């Protein structure tokens, strides 16, 4: 049986894992003039799971209302047939090439 998963889900998991490992540190909202310390990781392109910008919830909603969904949000990948990095779940590189590996 073949199951499909969106790469957006993989990207979100990669961010959660990187934060838990202390390799990615949440930042305040990066919009000029915003003083909100709470921000969420926003992906412009879900195929690049650790390239995020930090936006507060209101700026995150505003970004999506102006720009639509992030690139590759609905892209599907087969559950078992694609190899992914064991450290960050990226499908762009192997564990040996992972930027998280270099950070440790």
pLDDT tens readout for residues 9-56? 888 899 999 999 999 999 999 999 999 999 999 998 888 889 999 999
* Higher pLDDT among residues 76 and 64, named by residue: 64
What per-residue confidence (pLDDT) applies to 2?
41
Identify the domain containing residue 59 by its residue range.
4-103
Kindly indicate the confidence band of residue 103, based on its pLDDT and cuts at 50, 70 and 90: low
What per-residue confidence (pLDDT) applies to 1?
36
Structural domain tally of the chain? 1
Question: At CA 18, angle to CA 13 and CA 21, rounded to 5?
Answer: 125
* Higher pLDDT among residues 42 and 79, named by residue: 42
Please check the confidence at residue 104 and state whether its pLDDT lies above 60: no
């Amino acid at each position: 049986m073949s199951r499909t998963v969106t790469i957006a889900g993989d990207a979100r998991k990669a961010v959660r894992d990187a934060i838990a490992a202390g390799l990615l540190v949440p930042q305040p909202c990066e919009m000029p003039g915003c003083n909100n310390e709470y921000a969420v990781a926003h992906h412009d392109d879900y195929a690049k799971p650790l390239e995020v910008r930090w936006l507060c919830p209101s700026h995150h909603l505003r970004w999506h209302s102006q720009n639509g969904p992030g690139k590759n949000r609905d892209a599907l990948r087969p559950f078992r047939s694609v190899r992914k990095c064991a450290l960050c779940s990226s499908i762009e590189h192997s564990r040996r090439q992972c930027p998280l590996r270099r950070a440790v």
